[in-house]
């Protein structure tokens, strides 16, 4: 319970600072007003503890980041991480389910989507819950700019193959596909997520793809 209280406290601090938005749909089509500039918007779905998005936000002040995470409490940790790293106003967090993405962003409002180590939902009857299921791809297609991209990393080969098949079936163009990111030319500048560190530490290869919807 102590840990929970601490997380809630961290959450409240970041929320009071205006960095956690509980009603992201209020900003649909108006995120640029909130960020106070016209910089591109990149989102991560399922931030977990948030090292990835906080580090990106620190490294790229000219890009606006929105982190979406189902588990409300985890955002306390993300906020803490962002404060530790001295991240500025280019990172907003929102406790929400990505299934509602089209309520949060207007068509073409997002330049890039990151999916890192998404839950694999291994049972085939749960395939619809995978974040690269065709229904989710339609949501992403709707909010992405015409030249927008989705970047996916995972340790789960079945989820990766499923995702490649889903992208292909929905006419997404794929590039930089690797079955071993850390030994690939695309590892330079890679920011390891908390899950990535754990799985690669166990000797597991990391899969990665960049995909872009075709009109």
Catalytic residues: 119
Q: Select 157 or 173, whichever has its Cβ closest to ligand SAM.
A: 157
Give the containing element (helix H, strand E) for 209. Answer: strand 207-213
Q: What is the maximal distance between C-alpha atoms in the chain?
A: 50
* Angstrom distance (rounded) from CA 31 to CA 94: 13
Q: Select 158 or 171, whichever has its Cβ closest to ligand SAM.
A: 158
* Sites of contact with ligand SAM (CB under 6 A): 45-48, 68-71, 74, 97-99, 116-119, 193-196
Residue-level length of the chain: 215
Q: Select 14 or 117, whichever has its Cβ closest to ligand SAM.
A: 117
Task: Find all residues with CB under 8 Å of 183, minimum gap 6, and list them.
Answer: 205
**Min separation Cβ 146 and ligand SAM, Å:** 24
**Min separation Cβ 153 and ligand SAM, Å:** 7
**Min separation Cβ 118 and ligand SAM, Å:** 6
Q: Select 38 or 124, whichever has its Cβ closest to ligand SAM.
A: 124
3-state secondary structure of 52: helix
* Angstrom distance (rounded) from CA 152 to CA 140: 13
CA atoms within 13 A on the CB side of 199: 19
**Min separation Cβ 215 and ligand SAM, Å:** 26
């Amino acid at each position: 319970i102590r840990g929970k209280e601490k997380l809630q406290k961290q959450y409240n601090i970041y929320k009071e600072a205006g960095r956690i938005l509980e009603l992201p749909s209020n900003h649909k089509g108006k995120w640029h007003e909130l960020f106070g500039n016209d910089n591109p918007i990149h989102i991560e779905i399922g931030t977990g503890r948030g090292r990835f998005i906080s580090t990106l936000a620190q490294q790229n002040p000219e890009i606006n980041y929105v982190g979406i995470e189902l588990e409300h409490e985890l955002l306390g940790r993300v906020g803490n991480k962002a404060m530790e790293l001295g991240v500025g106003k280019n990172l907003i967090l929102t406790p929400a389910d990505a299934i509602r993405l089209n309520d949060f962003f207007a068509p073409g409002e997002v330049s890039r989507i990151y999916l890192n180590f998404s839950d694999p939902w291994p049972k085939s009857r749960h395939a619809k819950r995978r974040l690269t299921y065709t229904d989710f791809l339609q949501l992403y297609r709707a909010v992405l700019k015409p030249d927008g991209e989705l970047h996916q990393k995972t340790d789960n080969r079945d989820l990766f193959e499923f995702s490649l098949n889903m992208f292909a079936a929905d006419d997404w163009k794929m590039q930089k596909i690797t079955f071993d990111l850390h030994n690939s030319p695309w590892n330079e500048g890679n920011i390891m997520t908390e899950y990535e560190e754990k799985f690669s530490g166990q000797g597991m290869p990391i899969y990665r793809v960049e995909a872009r919807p075709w009109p």
